[in-house]
Structure 1
Amino acid sequence: MTAKLFTRPGALKVAMVAGEASGDMLGAHLMDALRSAHPNIEFAGIGGPRMLARGFHSQVPQEKLAVRGYLEVLKSLPELLRIRRTLRDTLIRERPDVFVGIDAPDFNLGLEKSLRQAGLHTVHYVSPSVWAWRPERVSKIGESADLVLCLFPMEKPLYDAAGVHATYIGHPLASEIPFTPDRDAMREQLGLRKDCPVFALLPGSRRSELEYMGGLYIEVARKLLQEYPDAQFLVPLATRPTLDQFDRLLTRHKAWDLPIRKLIGHAQMAMIAADVVLVTSGTATLEVALTKRPMVISYKLSWLTYQLVKRKLRLPFVGLPNVLAGRFVVPELLQHEATVDKLAAEVSKLYRDQDSRQDIISTFERMHEVLKLDSAKLAARAVLRVARC
């Protein structure tokens, strides 16, 4: 029998699973808000470093769940199923007051369904991208979760139409990130010159993303350095394992001479300090938008995964800033379009084109206003209602 997850008698027991860095951030904010509303509370399940710093008890390291792509998931499937089965059995035995699955729908929705069938209360925090692909998932999500917490305004109407209980809470990042970030102050804090080009490279928080995008971004930096000899590059890595992985990529590409500064975490600092950001598609693109920085969005998958995903897409874009705006505000270069030359050219174009940059910033400001609610507090209230406290 596995060790107990919850150990404090009389405490409100909140189980959570956050599958990657963005989920860890959301989970940490939710923990703070829940603890403010209900001090006698205990958290356990699977979480990342921010959640652990707040006293979260994680059954396994969060990195075990951070796998993307059909082929990649297939390789890790036996271990993922074992982890989910073990956690499911533990939670059914220990009966937490509520379970909150944070994003990671492939892992969490199946777990939520099992727990709900066993009589536990379940919340799914972060709607899957039903507005972009596989809209038929809405009803299935409703079978798994008592409540869906939606971060974007276009999501709740889709659940309402299907009779699924959902609430719009805004996005926590919109409250966390200042409306007008101070680029010069951030550069001073990081010890960077204020008059040189600074580019942030965000190859992804998952190790599988880094394998696809890390080397590509290193070569883009090399290309940009030919055009901007005094450029500086900031590369935030989510964890120590991804930092070590990026170091191996630097060695593989013989790139230790490039002016690349690595950061563990501190992605927002890198974004704010940058003139332009090159970012792998995902939650990080929204973070860049909220810091009001021009960006180029890129992504690569295995050939088979890409073919399967492409057929199911309902929108012409994948980056969250473009989805929220309903148009191509920033360029997206995906799969075979994501070459060193094309990515470097788009980054350089945004760096030089002041008019385009101002249009992008104005759009991002309007976006920020729509998304800025007291998200963590609203989420905490909703979770406590589901827990019937």
Structure 2
Amino acid sequence: MSNQRPPRIAIVAGEASGDLLGSHLIQAIKAHCPNAEFYGIAGAKMVFAGARSLYPMEKLSVNGYVEVIKHLPELLKIRRNLKKTILANPPDLFIGIDAPDFNLGLEASLKSHGIPTVHYVSPSIWAWRGGRIKKIAKAVSHMLVVFPFEAVIYQKAGIPVTYVGHPLADTLPAQPDRDGTRARLNLPIAQPIIALLPGSRVGELKQHAQLFVETAQLIQARNPQVRFITPLISRATREIFTAAMHACEHLPNIQIMIGHADYALAAADIALIASGTATLEAALLRRPMVITYRVPKITAYLMRRQAYLPWVGLPNILANREVVPELVQENATAPQLADALMALLEDKTRRAEIETEFTRQYVSLKQNTAEKMAAAILPYLKCD
């Protein structure tokens, strides 16, 4: 690479959690290479950190077999056009952030053209579709993993890997301030509060909005003192959730927030969460939770045929046991979720045990991730 131009990095994230991780990664690299340029597919946080997005990140935010098939022609066209753009003026490095179904194929092609590729956040090969390790070996020059047990898998496969910890553990407080956060959000200090996190994608809200609202309605009928807070990151998701609320016969006391899931979780006693990165965020904030998830029936059938683990929630996977309840698919009903949440709310001893396990996970994942990421990536760049 000539020193006449700054380091250039093509980068792709596919959803809100990847956008957050990508923003941390960009900041980590810029701390050492302030003039580094990033372009590709990025969300608002990555753009704010300095990336130039060529396509809306939301185009990639689809999940499940059925949903992906519906959007496949558009996704393939975006990937072809992005590959042409990258190869027309090759960067020093490509970084794919999660989104393995989109990124791994792109990475394999770019790597075959001599462009180094880093993939950040391992696909869940320890949970299902373990055969992907062969595809990953062809696609990835270096894998950055966020969980300690993942590094062993890649070492055995001969794939360069670095365990960097999880950046959320570095950014979230060591001692979450429940009362202080409630005061900041104008929430009552003494009343029980349950955070509702139905997901970040429109598809997730279509599956979960009515379920979450009906669950809140049942809980409030049993304990009128309970209040609910729901952080939603986009207008589209807020509209779906609001419509579900107004379809209720008895409107539960739900306060909708614009984003800030961390505030909602810090303020809450417990949470109901659609499986995903939000479950890890809740664990790192030491908030007991009930995990749920619904997908179309055919998607659930296909995923179950390939699953290796009995859990879907990251806190349970990290503990290798059921720390918090999981009620998914046909078990994800409002009465069952309400019962599980009320049991958790009323059992202080159990909540304390869960919080102890979550403290252990917080310590394990707090690794000064920014410096570890930079140390793994900088050898691919020449910084002035």
Normalising by structure 1, we get a TM-score of 0.95
Amino acid at match of 1:272: A
Q: Is the 8 Å Cα contact of residues 284 and 362 (structure 2) preserved in structure 1?
A: yes
Aligned to 1:4: none
Unaligned runs of at least 5 residues, structure 2: none
Task: State the distance in 1 between where 2:54 and 2:117 align.
Answer: 19
Q: Which residue of 2 aligns with 1:31?
A: 26
1:33–1:380 CA contact under 8 A, matched in 2:
yes
Partner of 2:91: 96
Contact 1:30–1:377 (Cα < 8 Å) also in 2 = no
Structure 2 equivalent of residue 120 of structure 1: 115
Residue 86 of structure 1: aligned partner = 81
**Match 2:190 to one of 187, 191, 195:** 195
Amino acid across the alignment from 1:229: P
Structure 1 segments unaligned to the other structure (5+ residues): 1-8
Q: Please give the secondary structure, in 2, of the residue aligned with 1:192.
A: coil
Residue number in structure 1 paired with 2:362: 368
Q: Which residue number in structure 1 is paired with residue 35 of structure 2?
A: 40
Match of 2:274 in 1: 280
Q: Identify if the C-alpha distance between structure 1 residues 94 and 240 changes in structure 2 by more than 3 Å, giving closer, same or farther.
A: farther
Distance in 1 between residues matched to 2:46 and 2:63, nearest whole Å: 22
Report the counterpart of residue 244 of structure 1 in structure 2.
239
User: Partner of 1:109: helix, strand, or coil?
Assistant: helix
Whether the 8 Å CA contact 2:313–2:326 is kept in 1: the answer is yes
Contact 1:153 1:168 in 2 (8 A): yes
Tell me, in whole angstroms, the C-alpha distance in 2 between the residues paired with 1:376 and 1:214.
35
Take 1:67 and 1:15, find their aligned partners in 2: how far apart are those partners?
22
Amino acid at match of 2:114: G
Matched-pair contact (CA < 8 Å) for 2:40–2:82: yes
Select which of 303, 324, 328 maps to 2:322: 328
Which of 353, 357, 374 aligns to 1:359? It is 353
Match of 1:212 among 207, 210, 214: 207
Q: SS state of the match for residue 178, structure 1? A: coil
Superposed displacement of residue 388, structure 1: 5.7
In 1: Cα distance, 2:53 partner to 2:91 partner: 14
Partner-residue secondary structure (3-state), 2:231: strand
Give the counterpart of 1:235 among 218, 230, 233: 230
2:313 counterpart residue number: 319
Residue type at the aligned position of 1:276: I
Query: What is the CA-CA distance between 1:339 and the residue it aligns to?
Result: 0.3
Tell me which residue corresponds to 1:151: 146
Q: Counterpart of 1:130 in 2: which secondary structure?
A: coil
1:77 matches 2:68: no
What is the deviation of 1:239? 2.1
After superposition, the C-alpha distances for 1:189-225 in whole angstroms (9 at most, x for unaligned) are 0000011110100001111111101111011111111
Note if 1:169 corresponds to 2:164: yes
SS in 1 for 2:315: helix
Sequence identity (%): 47
3-state SS of paired residue (1:67): coil
Contact kept? 1:122, 1:386, Cα under 8 Å: no
Q: 2:58 — aligned with what? A: 63
The residue number in structure 2 matching 1:5 is none
- SS of the residue corresponding to residue 9 of structure 2 reads strand
Query: Following the alignment from structure 1 to structure 2, what is the Cα–Cα distance between the partners of residues 382 and 45?
Result: 21
Q: Which amino acid aligns with 1:315?
A: L
Aligned residue identity for 2:70: K
- Contact 1:105 1:128 (C-alpha < 8 Å) held by counterparts: yes
Bigger mean CA offset, 374-383 vs 125-134: 374-383
Aligned residue for 1:59, secondary structure, equals strand
Q: What is the alpha-carbon root mean square deviation over aligned residues?
A: 1.3
TM-fit CA distance, 1:252: 4.1
Task: Report the 3-state secondary structure (helix = DSSP H, G, I; strand = E; otherwise coil) of the residue aligned with 2:94.
Answer: strand
1:381 aligns with 2:359: no
Measured against aligned partners, the alpha-carbon deviations of 1:100-135 in whole angstroms (never above 9, x if no partner) come to: 100010111111111111111110000011111122
The 2-side partners of 1:125 and 1:285 are apart by 19
- 1:166-192 CA-partner distances (Å, limit 9, x unpaired): 110001011111121010000000000
In structure 1, the residue corresponding to 2:312 is in which secondary structure? coil
**How far has the Cα of 1:253 moved from its partner?**
4.2
**2:343 match:** 349
